[in-house]
Amino acid sequence: MALSKVQYNSDIYIDICTVGDLKLAVYPNYLLLGKPIFDSHHQRVKFNTLSSIKLSEPVFRNFFIFLQKAFQLFENEDNSLTVIYSESPISDNVEIKDLKNSLFYEAEGEKNLRIVILCSTYNETQVKFYLNFQTFNELCESFSCLFFKTYCYTAVQNTVIEHFVHLTIVKDIKQKSLKDLITLIKEQNVLELTHNEVLIIANLIVRHRKLISLWRHFAVLNPRYEITSK
């Protein structure tokens, strides 16, 4: 019997969430979704990178769009294979499942028993995870909670920005000037901040404006979020 290949990552995660029987962990610059083991010698969790799915910054925008669209798969009978992100050229001559360095998804099963299949071809062999509705919701929540931590901003900055996302309508996120954002952050008064701290956070929001807009839009669509849909 051939032994499964193992290649553990050596990085220490920043935070970690449960997704069904999987874990989603955030590291500087990327996230890993998989089934980790506990290394008792080093007293930390390790992922086998060959059987995990890695999500880095170029994928974030497309992954949010996938999470939005995949909700519909639990309500319809669409089983088509759909690309989330691909580093390989997409052409009519190549089937999606044969694309290298790609993320894609499909669904299977009848209504009420639907499964979303998330697949990665970044490793030598395909990595697939099967997500029922409960597990998919946990993936949505976990990704929303963790992805922004890849930028390694401070805990205060992350906290204020996360609350800003949930308290601010998409139009304001997209269109407010830096000056207006500073005023808005002060009005929301999530934490006691110095003027300099507010200025830095407002600049971070401007820097990540497009991604933060998707974050907000997705949070509204996710039925497990208790926030306004304005």
Q: Is residue 2 over pLDDT 60?
A: no
Could you state, in order of their start, the residue ranges of all structural domains in the chain?
A: 15-55, 56-145, 153-221
CB-based contact 85:62 (threshold 8 Å): yes
Of 99, 27, 34, nearest to 56 by C-alpha is 27
pTM (predicted TM-score): 0.88
Is the Cα dihedral 23, 140, 62, 106 positive or negative? positive
142-197: per-residue pLDDT in tens?
Answer: 999 999 999 999 999 999 999 999 889 999 999 999 999 999 999 998 899 999 99
Phi first, then psi: give them for residue 144, nearest 5 degrees. Answer: -60, -40
- Residue 118 or 166, more confident: 118
Angle at 191 between CA 189 and CA 194, to 5 degrees: 90
Structure-token pair, residue 204: 């971070």
